[in-house]
Chain A
């Protein structure tokens, strides 16, 4: 005969009819002979009936506005149905915007370098001023001409004596 300990561990499942046929029979035989386990089983059976009723009351949702919940669910489903932006678009979008950013960057660089004219005229991309156009020979030196103000005191620049000069003086 099974021990009281092993039977009592299985009593709830026995009352619920959830034991295998073999164990069901084993527990039944024990309970017939053991008054203590029989009382325990009867107590569990009564308690489970009360628990079932009380739990049903505690989990009853009461009044539910099913229509409102349904409408909410429909809205949620509709939102789910809207195609989300694919990951791919996060890569495509920069490619579309890249030229615009490139133009902006060039403009910023031109401005930092003194303006588009100072950059494009020496490069031959933009037309030189009319005065330079009239003397094409000067065009190649246009950038130099632009900086003549800085070169007007060129002759006052103190330069280091050349090696040849030093040799002549010592010789």
Chain B
């Protein structure tokens, strides 16, 4: 099992406690630190960058409004991504969502560029070909939303299974199953390229 998180080592916990005491600048620092990753995560659920930005803003509004309820029991990002995943999964569940959903990463009606690949690439990134990215994009978008959320939290945000379970409000054994199935599905889709 993942090691218990020492909240004293998490500077975001201190910032959030400062927010509770009414420090607005602490909230702004948390916003600036996490906004990009929240938008990137949300984009894999809502399809367009513009909607992901709206969702991210709603989440940070919730963070500020619920600051009084925050308890430093875990890393701040665990608490944050609980709200983010709830918002994303709610968005996916909306009955009218399919009607409005554009193909992932296709330009929007307003000509918006697809929010996909960061401009900065490391040498490690170079081993991932464009073809692999396209396969991964298709496979990821086809994963059930909970599997998608679990695998993104574990692989990108670096959450332990226990932290993923807190963010998704489910058991650790359920998370183990979600991540295993997602990992195997993604592997099978990429198999020709990486084996």
Which residues does A use to contact B, with CB under 8 Å? 9-13, 16-20, 43-44, 46-48, 50-64, 66, 69-70, 72-73, 76-77, 80
Q: In the docked arrangement, what's the CA distance between A19 and B61, Å?
A: 36
Shortest Cβ gap from A25 to chain B (Å): 14
Residue-wise, chain B 26-54 has the 8 Å CB interface mask toward A (1 for contact) of 00100110011101110110000100110
Which residues does B use to contact A, with CB under 8 Å? 1-2, 28, 31-32, 35-37, 39-41, 43-44, 49, 52-53, 56-57, 60-61, 64-65, 115-119, 121, 124-125, 127-128, 132-133, 136-137, 140, 151-152, 154-156, 160-161, 176, 179-180, 183-184, 186-187, 190-191, 193-195
Q: In the docked arrangement, what's the CA distance between A52 and B155, Å?
A: 5
Shortest Cβ gap from B111 to chain A (Å): 16
**Residues in B whose Cβ lies below 8 Å from that of A20:** 1
The binding surface of chain A is classed by DSSP as helix
Shortest Cβ gap from B1 to chain A (Å): 6
**Residues in B whose Cβ lies below 8 Å from that of A61:** 36-37, 39-40, 43, 49, 52, 115, 118
**Residues in B whose Cβ lies below 8 Å from that of A19:** 1
Q: In the docked arrangement, what's the CA distance between A70 and B191, Å?
A: 42
Instruction: Assess the B65–A80 pair: CB atoms within 8 A.
Output: yes
Q: In the docked arrangement, what's the CA distance between A53 and B28, Å?
A: 29
Q: In the docked arrangement, what's the CA distance between A43 and B186, Å?
A: 12
Instruction: Assess the B31–A73 pair: CB atoms within 8 A.
Output: yes
**Residues in A whose Cβ lies below 8 Å from that of B115:** 61-62
Q: List 15 A-B contacts (CB under 8 A).
A: A13-B161, A16-B161, A16-B179, A44-B184, A50-B128, A52-B156, A53-B128, A58-B133, A58-B140, A59-B40, A61-B36, A61-B39, A62-B118, A66-B35, A80-B65
Partner of A46, one of B40, B124, B128, B194: B194
The 4 closest A-B pairs by CB, nearest first: A60-B118, A47-B187, A59-B40, A61-B40
Q: How many A-B residue pairs have CB under 8 A?
A: 139
Most B Cβ at <10 Å: residue of A17, A48, A72: A48
**Residues in A whose Cβ lies below 8 Å from that of B56:** 69
Q: In the docked arrangement, what's the CA distance between A56 and B65, Å?
A: 30
Instruction: Assess the B40–A76 pair: CB atoms within 8 A.
Output: no
Instruction: Assess the A59–B183 pair: CB atoms within 8 A.
Output: no
Partner of A53, one of B41, B60, B124: B124
Instruction: Assess the A9–B180 pair: CB atoms within 8 A.
Output: yes
Q: In the docked arrangement, what's the CA distance between A53 and B69, Å?
A: 35
The answer to whether residues A56 and B156 also contact, given A47-B186, A61-B39, A73-B31 and a CB cut-off of 8 A, is yes
Look across to chain B and name the residue whose beta carbon is closest to the beta carbon of A77: B64
Shortest Cβ gap from B141 to chain A (Å): 9
Instruction: Assess the B132–A50 pair: CB atoms within 8 A.
Output: yes
**Residues in A whose Cβ lies below 8 Å from that of B41:** 59
**Residues in B whose Cβ lies below 8 Å from that of A62:** 115-119
Instruction: Assess the B190–A16 pair: CB atoms within 8 A.
Output: no
Instruction: Assess the A43–B195 pair: CB atoms within 8 A.
Output: yes
